[in-house]
Amino acid sequence: MAAKEENLDDVIASLIDDDEEESITGEPVATSPKGNMKPVMLTERAARQVREIKKSEDLDEELYLRVAVEGGGCSGLSYKLGFDIRTDEDQIVESQGLEIVIDPKHLMYLEGIQIDYPDGLDARGFTFDNPNASESCGCGTSFAV
C-alpha cells in the first residue's frame, strides 16, 4: 500500500509546476492558475463545524485544518480532512477566518473546491463540491479527474 501512495505522490508531483509565490511574510501562498478563485473554500457552516471540533477536542493552536487527497475510493481519489502541523512545504489559504494547509502536490485536484457541512435530516457531515471532478461516487467522498 505504501508503494501505491508513493506512486500517487510521484504522479501528482510530476503534474504540478514548481513555481510558488510567497507572501510578504515569506510564507507560501496558494495561488490559482484559474484566476482569483481560492484553491479551497469553506462555507460558514463548515468553518463553524471545524471550530467546534477543534474546541471540543481541545486541540493545540498549532494544529491547522489540512485538506488533501489520497488514492482510493470507488471513483479513484478520496478527500481527506484532518488537523495537522503546518510544514514549510505547505501552501496556506484562508477561508472564513481559518487557515487551511494544503500539500502543493494536491492543489491541482483541490482547485476551487467548496467544503460544506449540511446538518439536516437528509445529509450530515462534510461535503465536497469539486469543479475538477469528472465523476464522483454516490457518497461524495471520492472522485475522478
Residues 47-99 have pLDDT tens digits of 999 999 999 999 999 999 999 988 776 657 788 999 999 999 999 999 999 99
Indicate the number of domains in the chain: 1
The CATH number given to whatever domain includes residue 56 is 2.60.300.12
| Domain of 115, in residue numbers | 2-144
Whether this prediction's pTM lies above 0.75 is answered by no
DSSP-derived secondary structure for the chain: -HHHHHHHHHHHHHHS----EE-TTS-EE---TTSS--SEEE-HHHHHHHHHHHHHTT--TTEEEEEEEEE-STTSEEEEEEEEE--TT-EEEEETTEEEEE-GGGHHHHTTEEEE--BSSS-BS-EEE-TT-SEE-TTSSEEE-
At residue 28, does pLDDT exceed 70? Answer: no
